Structure 1
Amino acid sequence: MAVIGSLIKGLIHATDAVTSEPDGIEAQEKVLRELLKKAKDTAFGKHYNFEELLKSDDLRREYASKVPFFDYNKINKEWWQKMHEGEESVTWPGKPPYFALSSGTTGKSSKRIPVTEDMVEAIRQTGIKQVASLANFDLPSDFFQKEIMMLGSSTDLDKKSDHEEGEISGISASNIPFWFRNFYKPGTDIADIEDWDERVAEIAKNAKNWDIGAITGIPSWTELMIKKILEYHDAKNIHEIWPNLQVYSTGGVAFEPYEKTFEQLFARPVTVIDTYLASEGFMAFQARPETRSMKLVLDNGIYFEFVPFKPEYIEEDGSLNPDAPVVPLEKVEVDQDYVLVISTVSGAWRYLIGDTIKFTDVKKKEIRITGRTKFFLNVVGSQLSVNKMNDAVKELEQKFGITIPEFTISAVKKDGEFIHKWYLGVEENGKVKNEEMAKALDELLKDANKNYGVARKKALKGVEVVQVPPSVFFEWSGKNKKKGGQVKMEKVMKEEKFADWEEFVQQQLS
């Protein structure tokens, strides 16, 4: 069997060696042109006159000037809703065979994002690119014959009259190639189980039957799965169950807040590889071990635009000001936050995905996800982005020797004045006093963010910290959406939702 692993590894090395890196600007121009050509006869393409746009000498600039920004609510109300009423070729030719359900971080109601056959193929092709990039990692030959645990949502999709619905991880898993099925775990029978707790219980029961070499999944739910496995088998770490586990492919949220927790779950170092797969497409993946950044996929069905992440360009609901400027790919700068805008083979046009990114290497086109437009706290001019929050929480962990995998924050009024109130999910709950944590957090943010320091001298009158067990965050997700899959915890809440959160916390702790 080791020979098979050597052959697969050799094939990956050969594939990587012959794959030429495209010129990013040319690749993006080609992608945009192909998108417009294919969609020119759709209702959307006719409305915005794609045929005329294609004659432009400066296609990217003309496209940006003629087609407005869309967030989900706007494009769904004006265009995608027509698909649910039976119309064809609305924003992409034909009818999509799938809709990805994504409640994301915004509430109970699911978004229904079209997933076309072209997008399924684009996701598959980017997956192949990611596998080829494993040649850059120092992995032994026998790794390539181990099984892969893909922890996503249920693959038992909801069948409608002319399409199927489910989360993107379930749609992707239901479309895995036949040759990969022998490597894929937990297998279709378990993956079809709708209830997350039941599915994880079956995974825990069967865990020792599998030789897992890699895990993929969102950190919070992967952590819970591993803990359930350890509890079921009375094990100290996951390597007692899966001794050949060598890779964890993460995505959806920043991994840094979970780093300490995962170190406690592993017996030895595991290669962590970041990916950027959202309901709207597979946009980037970590292609080399020297960095935690991800390479944008510039030649495979997604056209990218970048808007500077500044308060004057962001509306209160997290959408973009219609006049917000776009920075072309060739003019992006290192370590500047940008709002990501995409156009795709699923018929999303100048679509605000809701994420903010920064380029860590402009030449290699490598990025990090820095936060969400809705996770931008600027009620009193503090201009706190989620990456600043993550950094501060990570420093808290180091300062006090504790683990904080989850948190949420809101600007609330106390005695008529605004304060920032933090709930921290602390593994070692009570080890450090709330007041001491609040003081340290406040000082860390003042040092890291000039605008926050100014706000603290004026309208922002204080900081409060409440420590709760991390499990409270998972139960909140279960109550408001559902467990597992693409569900992510809100890092920033509006006052009304925060009041619901506080009531829920009291119920959980009483």
Structure 2
Amino acid sequence: MKIKSFLAKPYAAIVHKRIQKSMQTAVADQNYILQNLLKNGSKTIFGNDHNLKNVKTYAEFIQAIPIRDYEAISPYIEQIKEGKQNVLWKGKPLYFAKTSGTTSGVKYIPISSDSIGNHIDTAKNALLCYMVESGNTAFADGKMIFLSGSPTLERIAGIPTGRLSGIVNHHVPGYLRKNQMPDFETNCIEDWETKLDKIVTQTLGKDMTLISGIPPWMQMYFDWLAERSDGKKIKELFPNLQLLVHGGVNFEPYKTKLFDTIGAKIDTVETFPASEGFFAFQDTLDKEGLLLNTNSGIFFEFIPALEIFNENPTRLSLSDVKLGENYALIVNSNAGLWGYNIGDTIKFVSLDPYRIVVTGRTKHFISAFGEHVIAEEVEQSMKAIAEKYNANIVEFTVAPMIQTQDELPYHEWFVEFEQTPDNLSRFAADLDEMVRTKNIYYDDLIRGNILQPLKIRPLQKNAFIDYMKSVGKLGGQNKTPRLSNDRNIAEALLNK
């Protein structure tokens, strides 16, 4: 055992014990955070506009703070960009996390000196909990790669601005810098394929023990490694690879192909980070769900997912949530976000402690006929049927086919298979049946001859990579939406 793994063991035990203790005080911690947010927020321009100094209870908070998206908060962001202070939070943001919005163009999400610890410490806590739960600390001595955005930052109104993963890169502890790959110069390359080529060159022959990133881009990295090494499995190249850290998208549709490429099953740790905050992380190896980050500067609210676009939706605090209900996740944070709809839906799989799974996006669903099929339903269905047919799925997305000639409309599934099943029509029929069991509205539409069963359109190799490249979102933290209510992605895929 080397020095880093040796020292990590007692430190991990201390942090793990603290996290377990906080599981028992989650509701009280949330109430404390709300009061702290109100105290600090009342001294801001936003607080003055919403009379926060007179808000004392959660019921009053609901009346004072409407649910909002980026468009609604952007006037305050513009004031910050003009150089004003104390707009959404005290002082000026420490950073702007720059993200690409589907309707807003580029978004600038504030990160404050108070909130930066949420991003850094939670990532660290996920690894420390894994060390305690697994007993494995040896990976801390090897090389680690974080497939992330460029750490190059621009300045807006004097505020360093860039991708969240690039910002976090500046906060990697000094004792891990020698373990980190690729080097800083390579990380600064903007073009993903150029960057990936350099990463492959730098990491071949190194003792890689941990790889972190979004699953499709990890797979692309593995594929390039295999191509460069005459088809070798990743475990042959990196015999001490022990851990994948992933987030951003559901891991299940990618798991089979990733492990096949690696040549063995290895441990995984799932996280739920976003520019707006680090919301949850996997704290255990044997229980479902991610531990909600209830003591890290974020006050959470939960709206029943079907009400999210209502004028006055039901708003719940942590103490009122129920198991198995699908909720839109709303955050209020010490970065200056208030009643902010992050666009993700979750459900609780445990209330003691509070553990969640991510079920989809509020805007990523199909409801062309009132079926409201969500990402969780299509992903679980695809996983089950792919396993039944021993089929490896590279990537897929679903769109409605409404305009048809002399036939009923249907859901069209665009699927890139590693190898297309021998009986694709049977595969499609079983997949349709599985979705029907998960969504009664979809089942009713099939039974009522409003929709016909789904159809699968197999795509050529690298179809999704080529699509993401064409829209300038190849690599980094970008991902293809699972579901759309229009055919924009579908038509782009067909035109590749």
Q: TM-score, normalised by structure 2?
A: 0.94
1:228 paired residue number: 224
Q: Which amino acid aligns with 2:85?
A: E
- Tell me the alpha carbon deviations over residues 30-76 of structure 1, each in whole angstroms, 9 at most, x when there is no partner: 111111212211111111111111xx2xx222211221001122222
Displacement, 1:342?
Answer: 0.5
SS at match of 1:273: strand
- Aligned: 1:355 with 2:357: no
- Tell me the alpha carbon deviations over residues 218-250 of structure 1, each in whole angstroms, 9 at most, x when there is no partner: 001111011112212224211122111111111
Quickly say closer, same or farther: Cα 1:443–1:98, change in 2 above 3 A. Answer: same
Q: Which moved more, 1:167-176 or 1:295-304?
A: 167-176
- Aligned: 1:126 with 2:115: no
- Aligned: 1:214 with 2:210: yes
- Aligned: 1:410 with 2:407: no
How many positions carry a matched residue from both structures? 491
Among 425, 428, 433, which residue is 1:443 paired with?
A: 433
Cα distance in 2, alignment partners of residues 305 and 465 from structure 1: 38
Displacement, 1:270?
Answer: 0.8
Native 8 Å contact 2:289 2:349 kept in 1: yes
1:63 paired residue number: 61
Native 8 Å contact 1:9 1:144 kept in 2: no
Among 426, 442, 448, which residue is 2:417 paired with?
A: 426
2:493 paired residue number: 505
Displacement, 1:420?
Answer: 1.3
- Tell me the alpha carbon deviations over residues 253-303 of structure 1, each in whole angstroms, 9 at most, x when there is no partner: 110000111111222221111101111111110001102411011111111
Native 8 Å contact 1:411 1:495 kept in 2: yes
SS at match of 2:158: coil
Quickly say closer, same or farther: Cα 1:366–1:28, change in 2 above 3 A. Answer: same
Cα distance in 2, alignment partners of residues 432 and 79 from structure 1: 55
Q: Which amino acid aligns with 2:347?
A: K
- Tell me the alpha carbon deviations over residues 371-396 of structure 1, each in whole angstroms, 9 at most, x when there is no partner: 11112212212121110000111122
2:199 paired residue number: 203
Cα distance in 2, alignment partners of residues 224 and 139 from structure 1: 30
Structure 1 segment 13-32 matched on structure 2, within 5 A: 13-17=13-17, 21-22=21-22, 23-32=25-34
- Tell me the alpha carbon deviations over residues 125-168 of structure 1, each in whole angstroms, 9 at most, x when there is no partner: 22332233124322434222122211111112234451232221
| Structure 1 runs, 4 residues or longer, greater than 4 Å off | none
Among 265, 281, 284, which residue is 1:285 paired with?
A: 281
Cα distance in 2, alignment partners of residues 86 and 80 from structure 1: 10
Among all aligned residue pairs of Structure 1 and Structure 2, give the percentage whose two residues are the same amino acid.
28
1:317 paired residue number: none
Cα distance in 1, alignment partners of residues 222 and 200 from structure 2: 8
Cα distance in 2, alignment partners of residues 480 and 36 from structure 1: 41
Quickly say closer, same or farther: Cα 1:423–1:133, change in 2 above 3 A. Answer: same
SS at match of 1:21: helix
Native 8 Å contact 1:305 1:329 kept in 2: yes
1:452 paired residue number: 442
Native 8 Å contact 1:136 1:289 kept in 2: no
Quickly say closer, same or farther: Cα 1:343–1:378, change in 2 above 3 A. Answer: same
Cα distance in 1, alignment partners of residues 270 and 70 from structure 2: 25
Q: Which moved more, 1:251-260 or 1:399-408?
A: 399-408
Q: Which moved more, 1:79-88 or 1:242-251?
A: 79-88
Native 8 Å contact 2:391 2:418 kept in 1: yes
- Aligned: 1:88 with 2:85: yes
Cα distance in 1, alignment partners of residues 383 and 104 from structure 2: 29
- Aligned: 1:163 with 2:151: no
SS at match of 2:249: coil
Native 8 Å contact 1:274 1:293 kept in 2: no
Native 8 Å contact 2:83 2:157 kept in 1: no
- Tell me the alpha carbon deviations over residues 386-430 of structure 1, each in whole angstroms, 9 at most, x when there is no partner: 100001111221232211232111222213753211111211136
2:486 paired residue number: 495
2:463 paired residue number: 472
- Aligned: 1:373 with 2:362: yes
Cα distance in 1, alignment partners of residues 440 and 278 from structure 2: 35
Native 8 Å contact 2:235 2:262 kept in 1: yes
Cα distance in 2, alignment partners of residues 497 and 481 from structure 1: 15
Cα distance in 2, alignment partners of residues 34 and 276 from structure 1: 24
Native 8 Å contact 1:273 1:292 kept in 2: no
- Tell me the alpha carbon deviations over residues 80-111 of structure 1, each in whole angstroms, 9 at most, x when there is no partner: 2222233322211222232222226x279322
- Tell me the alpha carbon deviations over residues 109-129 of structure 1, each in whole angstroms, 9 at most, x when there is no partner: 322222222222221222332
1:263 paired residue number: 259
Native 8 Å contact 2:365 2:485 kept in 1: no
